[in-house]
Amino acid sequence: MDLSDIKAVLLDMDGTLVESHAAVERAWRTWSAEHGVDPDAVLAVAHGAPAETTVRRFLPAAETGIAAARQLALQYDDLSDVTAGPGAAELLGTLARRGLPWAVVTSADIRLANARLAAAGIVPPVLVTVEDIAAGKPAPDGYLKAAAILGVPPATCLVVEDAEVGVRAGRAAGARTAGLRGLEADLTVDTLADLARLLG
């Protein structure tokens, strides 16, 4: 895929820019045990989606708000093994050298996003969280908002994701998509370092 006309890069956080898989899984397994829900069933659909969206699939609507807040609470302080994702430094260095604007678009709330990004040593110029939009992934709202803040048409943005719901959100926004670790998208790369080389 020709990336020469890309004007901005919009990055998912968990599993893409930040390696937090173990922390996410620990939180969902603890939450599932507390609520008597099959953790494997939860983990099969939780990745990349807002906590409330996942909770709604397993609990009655009346319990969704409190249960989703509990799930997030389990994640806030679990940062022991949260790091920058493989190739993140290379990609961000390439974006800086090329003068390409970038943003983080995440299904996390602002508290969790700031905690994980800080643990990974990453300070994004633009951060769009689930609290900034009406609908989370797979809706396009987050990516559309990030493109608008950066002042770049969505069609000239590259959305980088590790989850199918995120690729769907990027495509719905009209952006081109890059999937990590075999995820089907317009472009598939193993790591962010591979993407850095393609953008270099």
Q: Give yes or no: 194 in active site.
A: no
How far apart (Å, rounded) are the C-alpha atoms in residues 46 and 71? 11
Q: Give yes or no: 162 in active site.
A: no
Active-site position among 2, 5, 14, 40? 14
Active-site position among 2, 5, 12, 132? 12
How many other C-beta atoms are found inside a 10 Å radius of the C-beta of residue 36? 8
- Which residue intervals of the chain are DSSP H helices? 21-35, 39-46, 51-58, 64-76, 88-98, 110-120, 141-150, 164-172, 192-199
Burial classification of residue 134, based on how many CB atoms lie within 10 Å of its CB (0-12 exposed, 13-18 middle, 19 or more buried): exposed
Point out the residues that are catalytic. 12, 14
